Chain A
Amino acid sequence: MQKEALRLRVNGSLREALVPHHRSLLDFLRDDLELTGTKRGCDDGSCGACTVLLDGCSRLSCITLAHGVPGRSVTTIEGAGQPGRLSDLQLAFISEGGLQCGFCTPGMVLAAGALLQRIPHPSEEQVREGLSNNSCRCTGYGRIVQAVRRAAGAPEETP
């Protein structure tokens, strides 16, 4: 098995490990760095639970090789906010009830963050399109969309 030293900036700090060539970015984050906030769902790119940010853009870490993104900067949900210092987006997910079991939430929050970087004030349609690589099996998406729009400054919706 071919192993090689890997250096990646993860959540702002430089991390190093001896990693086999065939390790996915997801396995590197979860197993080598013990950053288990990034979730393993389908392992084939179709559910979005493993979404992380690579230089600010969303990326599916289960179908990315750890050695395949040299020199890039990775942000996982652990780097998106801290207990007691949550991001506006995380707070909006809580206040709008944009989660139930929570398994898809790390990926949703990061994908939504990347969307708001591209489109600061998205329409409902744009939020739905922007999150279309992320599946949620509990909420029915309505409250997730609402949370993202609230975080972007859209007024509260009356039921």
Chain B
Amino acid sequence: MIGLPSFRLHRPTSIEEAVGLLAEHRDDAKLLAGGTDLLVNLRHGLATPSHIVSLAEVPGLDRIDCSPEHGLTIGALSTLESLATHPGVEESFPVVVRAARTISGPTLRAMGTVGGNLCLDTRCHWYNQSFFWRQACGFCLKKDGTACHVAPGSSLCWAAYSGDLAPAFLVLGAEIKLLSVRGERRVPLDRFFLDDGLRKFDMASDELLTQVCVSATRAHLRGVYSKLRIRGALDYPLAGVAAAARIAGGGTFHEAALALTAVGPRPFLVEGATEILEGLRANDEDAIERVAHLARRLSNPMNTTWAMQPAYRRLRVGLFARDALREMGERGP
């Protein structure tokens, strides 16, 4: 049994109070949403805050508003299950629901939130272990140590970003809203994630993610999410590919986008995919192969899991990308 370390729990009842607490305690505070990532990490000594700010009693953060006219806004505290079972989102933004449904199982989805999912800590087999294990096998750069065991000599941490929703939101060009006592700022999601497993996000310790927004212009794109994992349920992705596109009446690709997760420290859009595919026929195998090759080339999985070899994860990225583009071309959402 590994007990939770001692901390002071704050239960603000308004969003202003919540950001006030974050401003007061800064690096010594952590936000608690569903707790499915944070509480595990606290147990393992991966985070050691003195203050936990629970969002459970902050009203108004769990709304999902979805319409083809106004687009999609999702409150950060919406549960993964409410998103996975939302008929309106499934109809208008299918790639999001497809990604949400692959996350763990229904009990965990009813606990985990969208905000917590986007702000998930990066993962590595040298890191997601108990304190005892890490002490015995050697601490690493990401926590308590000085060297990276995956890329010795590197000053960066290569732990993999392993959230499933981020790539789905990336292909829809989503933005997020961050709130602090200094005010609100909107950040395009593709600029939120940093390519460094230590810093992870463009988010200060006093900021709170309040909303994810997708423009109405991205409604009714076809969408696919494919995920590589050991078991058919429960597991985090070891590689994930989200794809979205509009297939015009004549059967041509428009606004096509691909994004990858779990193959590097941040999820990212496959740059160049949109330009290659724009206006081409959806059965243009040559173009599809070029994009699949690009996705594979840009993915950079490292030895951060014992479950699968990086080369295999990379191979599957290419196959997922190819199959997703074919599937979108062949049939509806």
What is the interface of chain A, defined by CB distance below 8 A to chain B?
A: 1-2, 20-24, 27, 40, 43-46, 48, 51, 57-60, 62-65, 67-70, 111, 114-115, 129-134
Complex contact A22–B105 (CB within 8 A) = no
| 15 extra A-B contacts, CB within 8 A, seeds A2-B7, A63-B36, A129-B105 | A22-B3, A45-B36, A45-B39, A45-B108, A58-B107, A63-B35, A63-B40, A63-B111, A65-B35, A65-B39, A68-B54, A70-B56, A70-B57, A115-B106, A130-B105
Complex contact A22–B4 (CB within 8 A) = yes
The answer to whether residues A24 and B107 also contact, given A2-B8, A70-B11, A129-B233 and a CB cut-off of 8 A, is: no
Complex contact A67–B107 (CB within 8 A) = no
Which of these, B7, B39, B57, contacts A21 with CB under 8 Å?
B7
B230-278 at interface with A (beta carbon < 8 Å): 233-234
The answer to whether residues A59 and B233 also contact, given A69-B56, A133-B105 and a CB cut-off of 8 A, is: no
Look across to chain B and name the residue whose beta carbon is closest to the beta carbon of A131: B105
B contact residues, range: 20 to 34
Q: Does B43 contact A (CB under 8 A)?
A: yes
A-B contact pairs, 7 of them (CB 8 A): A51-B107, A58-B107, A62-B39, A64-B111, A65-B54, A70-B57, A129-B233
What residues on B are CB-neighbors of A62 within 8 Å? 39
Complex contact A68–B35 (CB within 8 A) = yes
What residues on A are CB-neighbors of B11 within 8 Å? 67, 70
Complex contact A130–B106 (CB within 8 A) = yes
User: How far, in angstroms, from A67 to B39 measured CA to CA in the complex?
Assistant: 13
B42-78 at interface with A (beta carbon < 8 Å): 43-44, 52, 54, 56-57
What residues on A are CB-neighbors of B111 within 8 Å? 59-60, 63-64
Question: Would you give the shortest CB distance from A49 to chain B, in whole angstroms?
Answer: 12
What residues on B are CB-neighbors of A63 within 8 Å? 35-36, 39-40, 111
* Interface SS majority for chain B: loop
Complex contact B6–A2 (CB within 8 A) = yes
Which of these, A22, A58, A59, A111, contacts B5 with CB under 8 Å?
A22
User: How far, in angstroms, from A134 to B43 measured CA to CA in the complex?
Assistant: 21
Look across to chain B and name the residue whose beta carbon is closest to the beta carbon of A118: B106
User: How far, in angstroms, from A137 to B44 measured CA to CA in the complex?
Assistant: 24
Question: Would you give the shortest CB distance from A58 to chain B, in whole angstroms?
Answer: 4
Look across to chain A and name the residue whose beta carbon is closest to the beta carbon of B57: A70
Complex contact A132–B233 (CB within 8 A) = yes
User: How far, in angstroms, from A27 to B4 measured CA to CA in the complex?
Assistant: 10
Look across to chain B and name the residue whose beta carbon is closest to the beta carbon of A71: B57
Question: Would you give the shortest CB distance from A108 to chain B, in whole angstroms?
Answer: 11
Which of these, B3, B4, B32, B107, contacts A111 with CB under 8 Å?
B107
Which of these, B6, B8, B39, B233, contacts A24 with CB under 8 Å?
B39
What residues on B are CB-neighbors of A27 within 8 Å? 3
What residues on A are CB-neighbors of B5 within 8 Å? 22
Look across to chain A and name the residue whose beta carbon is closest to the beta carbon of B109: A133
Which of these, A1, A22, A46, A59, contacts B110 with CB under 8 Å?
A59
